[in-house]
Amino acid sequence: MKRREFILGGAAVAWPVVARAQPTEPMRRVGVIMNTAEDDPESQLRLDAFVQSLGHTGWEVGLNIQIYTRWSQGVTTQTRLLARELLGLSPDVILVGGRAAVVVPEIQQARRGIPIVFVQAVDPVGVGYITRMTKPGGDATGFIQFEYTLAGKWLQLLKDVAPDTTHAAILREPGTAGIGQWAVIQAAASPLAVELMSIDTRDPTEIERGVSAFASEPNGGLIVAVSSTASVHRKLIIALAAKHRLPAIFPYRYHAIDGGLISYGPDLVHQFRQAAGYVDRILKGEKPADLPVQAPTKYELVVNLKTAKSIGLTVPPTLLARADEVIE
**pLDDT given at position 123:** 78
Q: What confidence tier does 21 reach under pLDDT thresholds 50, 70, 90?
A: very low
Evaluate whether 172 touches 181 at the Cβ level (below 8 Å): yes
pLDDT in tens, 62-117: 999 999 999 988 788 888 899 899 999 999 999 998 777 777 878 877 777 899 99
pLDDT in tens, 204-229: 999 999 999 999 999 999 999 988 78
Could you give the percent of the chain with pLDDT greater than 70? Answer: 91
pLDDT in tens, 173-210: 876 567 888 999 999 999 999 999 999 998 999 999 99
Distance between CA atoms of residues 193 and 67, nearest Å: 50
pLDDT in tens, 226-235: 887 888 899 9
Q: Please give the domain boundaries of the chain with CATH numbers for all domains.
A: 2-144+267-297 (3.40.50.2300), 149-266+300-327 (3.40.50.2300)
Q: Angle at CA 27, nearest 5°, toward 42 and 286?
A: 75
pLDDT in tens, 250-302: 999 999 999 999 999 999 899 999 999 999 999 999 999 999 999 988 889 99
The answer, yes or no, to whether residue 40 has pLDDT greater than 50, is yes
User: What does pLDDT average to over the chain?
Assistant: 88
CA 326 to chain centre: 22
Instruction: Mention every residue, 6+ apart, whose C-beta is less than 8 A from residue 181.
Output: 148, 151, 170, 172, 225, 226
Backbone angles phi, psi at 316, to 5 degrees: -60, 140
The answer, yes or no, to whether residue 168 has pLDDT greater than 60, is yes
Here the contacts of 210-219 (C-beta below 8 Å, separation 24 or greater) are 210/169, 210/171, 211/169, 211/171, 211/237, 211/240, 211/241, 211/244, 211/246, 212/240, 212/244, 214/169, 214/246, 215/244, 215/246, 217/167, 219/164, 219/165, 219/166, 219/167
Q: Which whole-number Å values give the CA distances from 287 to 70, 142, 182, in the listed order?
A: 24, 12, 35
The most confident of the ranges 14-28, 35-49, 115-129 is 35-49
